[in-house]
Amino acid sequence: PLQASGGGLVQPGGSLRLSCAASGSIFRIYDMGWYRQAPGKQRMFVARITRDGSTNYADSVKGRFTVSRDNAKNTVYLEMNSLESEDTAVYYCNCNVRQIGVLRPNDYWGQGTLVTVSS
């Protein structure tokens, strides 16, 4: 399973750091990333990082958010700066994981962590 943490209430212009740790019988984790779902809207892509560190971002967060990972800890992070009210959403981590004894990787989702940007 994936366990996300780090959400909370922050003022506009503030910062937060989200973490998502994978656990279980893991052979290898490939892509790791983040999506978000604002109230009344569909879940949207935020950022993604490959195993070798290549990244890509949604246009709305470029220059403000940074995705990173620690392969030794099976953890992905999302550093969020200059937060805006439009960033308010439930943030979900998503990881492509190959488990021990399984030939192909599968996508897994974390439980979501709420980020609220408000004064």
**Tens of pLDDT, residues 24-72:** 999 999 999 999 999 999 999 999 999 999 999 999 999 999 999 999 9
For residue 81, the 8-state DSSP code is -
- The residues, ordered by sequence, that sit 6+ positions from 113 with a Cβ below 8 Å of its Cβ are 4, 5, 6, 7, 18, 90, 91
- Proportion of the chain in helix, strand, coil states, percent, rounded to 5: 5, 55, 40
Phi and psi at residue 85, in whole multiples of 5°? -60, -30
Q: Is the pLDDT of residue 1 over 90?
A: no
83 token code pair: 């937060």
3-state secondary structure of 65: strand
